[in-house]
């Protein structure tokens, strides 16, 4: 049994396609955000610390709407995604404003993590079982990288095509993750833009 488990919440996205900060939108009956649901489920699963990866330009708004209510329930820390925070030997191209991807976001929190941790997107809903699965993995001695995956057919939308990372597993090990666009349920199968059909498993 581990003593501390950290949840790393990526919430620095600009929401350019969505048109705003989706991670701050109120979606619940009492003004809850998607992050609120994730944090509630993480607490139930035994997570003890949360690190929010955000941008400095909405730090005050984020603290007011999200984090202040969790003081005393979690150890709460912040990492700021800076496009210039790169590994040695790399530099940010002149004129770039858009944040880098997941890997660089996690890198920005490297000095705050000294224990097992899990990473989630602040604008995605995972469900309580997901947090329990990863917590159980660590509590049962898991010491390698791990990922909670979902059946593809359970992640589709009734409101049009979506993009998902489609996993390929070989010998009980994750082999590849292929970002696949325009996934949509068509009868008993799932159509994609890769000229293949999937059965959803």
Q: Which range of residues forms the domain containing residue 85?
A: 6-144
Of all residues in the chain, what percent carry a pLDDT higher than 70?
A: 90
φ, ψ of residue 129 in degrees (nearest 5): -60, -35
- Contact at 8 Å (CB) between 201 and 152? yes
Tell me: do 104 and 180 sit in the same domain.
no
Last residue of a domain, one of 121, 144, 167: 144
**1 belongs to a structural domain:** no
Tell me: do 180 and 102 sit in the same domain.
no
| Structure tokens, 198 | 């999937």
Instruction: Write down the pTM of the prediction.
Output: 0.84
Q: How far apart are CA 120 and CA 26, in angstroms?
A: 18
pLDDT tens readout for residues 170-187: 998 889 998 888 898 887
Last residue of a domain, one of 101, 116, 144: 144
pLDDT tens readout for residues 57-94: 888 888 888 888 888 888 999 999 888 888 888 889 89
**62 belongs to a structural domain:** yes
Domains held by the chain: number: 2
What CATH number is given to the structural domain containing 102? 3.90.550.10
Q: What is the largest CA-CA distance in the chain?
A: 51
- Is residue 20 scored above 80 in pLDDT? no
HSE-up of 155 (CA within 13 Å, CB side)?
Answer: 19
pLDDT for res 26: 80
Tell me: do 58 and 35 sit in the same domain.
yes
**38 belongs to a structural domain:** yes
Last residue of a domain, one of 119, 144, 169: 144
Other Cβ atoms less than 10 A from the Cβ of 116: the count is: 19
Residue of 34, 79, 33 whose CA lies nearest to 54: 79
Tell me: do 134 and 170 sit in the same domain.
no
Look up tokens 């009980």; give the residue: 172
């Amino acid at each position: 049994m581990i003593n501390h488990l950290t949840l790393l919440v990526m919430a620095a996205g600009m929401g350019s396609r969505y048109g705003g900060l989706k991670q701050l939108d109120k979606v619940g009956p009492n003004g809850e955000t998607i992050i609120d649901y994730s944090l509630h489920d993480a607490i139930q699963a035994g997570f003890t610390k949360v690190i929010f990866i955000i941008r400095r330009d909405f730090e005050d708004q984020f603290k007011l709407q999200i984090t202040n209510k969790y003081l005393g329930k979690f150890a709460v820390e912040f990492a700021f995604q800076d496009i210039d925070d790169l590994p040695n030997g790399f530099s940010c191209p002149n004129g770039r404003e858009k944040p880098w991807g997941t890997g660089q976001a996690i890198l920005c929190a490297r000095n705050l993590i000294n224990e097992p941790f899990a990473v989630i997107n602040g604008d995605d809903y995972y469900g309580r079982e997901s947090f329990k699965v990863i917590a159980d993995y660590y509590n049962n001695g898991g010491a390698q990288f791990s990922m909670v995956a979902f059946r593809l057919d359970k992640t589709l939308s009734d409101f049009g095509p979506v993009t998902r990372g489609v996993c390929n597993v070989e010998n009980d090990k994750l082999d590849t993750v292929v970002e696949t666009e325009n996934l949509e349920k068509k009868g008993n199968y799932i159509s994609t833009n890769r000229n293949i059909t999937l059965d959803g498993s």
